[in-house]
Structure 1
């Protein structure tokens, strides 16, 4: 195959490349398959309707050769004769035409399937270019088609000569028959020879169909750079995707920080972790929800906002790590941490009440809260 930008087309076409080619009308097609389907169906159909068609033709001949002299000069009689002739031949031929039509549709869509492309119908100036036409006439594809045509003619002609030679004695014996029998035998012989001659197309089809598949795949092959470019266009450039992720993370962080003032308490590991919890006491059976969490710089920012809005900040390293690793944002804490978090919230609520002069100063929290081993990080 030709090279593109110094690179050989060694990569198989991707699904996107195949889909785009199909949208443009570039699909594998075998003219030999369509031709063979039409000819075989026509030959087989003629054999099937030979009896009814022969009888209909006999009736037409008899009716038209027995016209009286007065009917020849009667326009209405001639129209009646024409109508009767058409009706006599129409029914046998309709079945033949329907069979050939179905065979044409199946034969031309069996390879590549049915495809309707508006892009292929659009006019293109490149198709009207004389230079492009000359390239197509003397290109590799034209050479292949020429060799195929010559090979088909030689093969079919050789097969036809062999077929005629094999039936030569039978053809000579037709002269010994009476006229009606000779015509029937000749027509029967002709139809069977036509069918066998059409069957000679099957080896050509067996060669052409795989070739068309291979040639279509060869034309759509891609260079390694084209595969990389397509991946970038489909998935996005890594630097662009990274920037989008950073922007999304920044937006998520801003939304999260806006929830920190609504928290009831912020549990921290003094140097790395911060987790903001909110508990709705008006909803019976509800559990505390994590409204913000973060590490390092984000953790420091959460603590900073909490102090600005006077949200209590409680230092409990083990609990902060446990909540951070076990609970997603805007989700309730797991059952195993209920007791430890309940103690923290009880302390915070008592502390807030004491600051308002509505109760005694609460007892400080224990250094070790009841945290199950599976939640310790």
Structure 2
């Protein structure tokens, strides 16, 4: 009952994250009929372009071996082994293109449905796959019903195609009984290729329907409830407590880095107790003074304390300190409107240093 209620609550389409997580775990929409169609198509290609020439070549080689059987030396086991190797080589040459085409057809059908990816999660033991109850639900559920309909469709259509093909070829088969036996393999090959062609045409319809149904059923199984979407959104945003802690740590690191830059400042502009802005200026490498630190209240007092400990001039200017704090950014040059007044202060500081030296 709870499973039914859970399914009923999943009315929302899956999010992109839910879809990507499913794909990463190997849960992808896959049509079981596409590889079957690829196999029939491979057989059709093999019969049309490979068997006609390969069978004749293989038959000629084997007939030559049989006709000249007395010419082969079979005195011991080594001679028999060499002969078997020669026969195996000819058979291998015959089977190699057939196996290659079938393998490429199967891989192509799989890669065209989904991108290839290595998913170790799919090969891990899963006890639920051994559950008789879940197995019963798979057999008699929606998936099992669809598989039953596909099996009925394949059986009926293939039977109809085979019946119509054999009925159309009945005259040729009867006349072949009174013709040269060497023409019989070619006749059988022609009938087989027509039969496979008919099955391929019918299978195309089944593959198209199965691909559409498998993708629709896959998305339906990935549906989410409104609570699932809220939980995913909350998880994506992160825990508010953790995020607040991270912001606090980031502020602490930025504050410590700022305080470590105060000893390199040229001067500090301060409102006596509320604001402090530390500026650095080097005429050789800077176009304008750069703000290396700024703070308010306790941080402003700390900047002043560090400046006094390192004998950095502290200039008290209420309006300038307040304006620089509001407009200037750390590690950036001061705004252009402050160039003149700050330049006058720097000239004053430099003049005091010269007077102190003299």
Task: Provide the TM-score with structure 1 as the length reference.
Answer: 0.76
Deviations 1:100-122 (CA, angstroms, capped at 9, x unpaired) = 11112112232112122111111
1:213 equivalent to 2:211? Answer: no
Deviations 1:207-240 (CA, angstroms, capped at 9, x unpaired) = 1112222222222233333233233333312343
What is the aligned partner in structure 1 of residue 165 from structure 2?
A: 163
What is the aligned partner in structure 1 of residue 339 from structure 2?
A: 338
Shift of 1:146: 1.9
1:11/1:224 contact within 8 Å kept = no
What is the aligned partner in structure 1 of residue 129 from structure 2?
A: 127
1:303/1:313 contact within 8 Å kept = no
What is the rounded CA distance, in whole Å, between the counterparts of 1:300 and 1:90 in structure 2?
Answer: 87
What is the aligned partner in structure 1 of residue 300 from structure 2?
A: 302
**Change beyond 3 A, Cα 1:87–1:320:** same
**Change beyond 3 A, Cα 1:262–1:172:** same
**Change beyond 3 A, Cα 1:163–1:325:** farther
What is the aligned partner in structure 1 of residue 60 from structure 2?
A: 59
**Change beyond 3 A, Cα 1:145–1:108:** same
What is the rounded CA distance, in whole Å, between the counterparts of 2:145 and 2:267 in structure 1?
Answer: 82
Shift of 1:293: 2.0
What is the aligned partner in structure 2 of residue 42 from structure 1?
A: 43
**Change beyond 3 A, Cα 1:3–1:250:** farther
Q: Any stretches of 5+ residues in structure 1 without a counterpart? A: 360-377
Shift of 1:176: 5.2
**Change beyond 3 A, Cα 1:255–1:162:** same
1:40/1:199 contact within 8 Å kept = no
1:327 equivalent to 2:325? Answer: no
**Change beyond 3 A, Cα 1:274–1:178:** same
**Structure 2 counterparts to residues 193-272 of structure 1, below 5 A:** 193-257=195-259, 259-260=261-262, 263-268=265-270
What is the aligned partner in structure 2 of residue 11 from structure 1?
A: 13
1:291/1:329 contact within 8 Å kept = yes
**Change beyond 3 A, Cα 1:35–1:24:** same
Shift of 1:337: 3.3
What is the aligned partner in structure 2 of residue 101 from structure 1?
A: 103
**Change beyond 3 A, Cα 1:74–1:346:** closer
**Root-mean-square deviation (Å):** 3.7
1:174/1:186 contact within 8 Å kept = no
Task: Provide the TM-score with structure 2 as the length reference.
Answer: 0.80
Q: Any stretches of 5+ residues in structure 2 without a counterpart? A: none
Normalized per residue, which structure has more helix?
A: 2
The alignment partner of 2:114 has SS state of coil
Name which of 116, 119, 123 aligns with 2:118: 116
2:10/2:223 contact within 8 Å kept = no
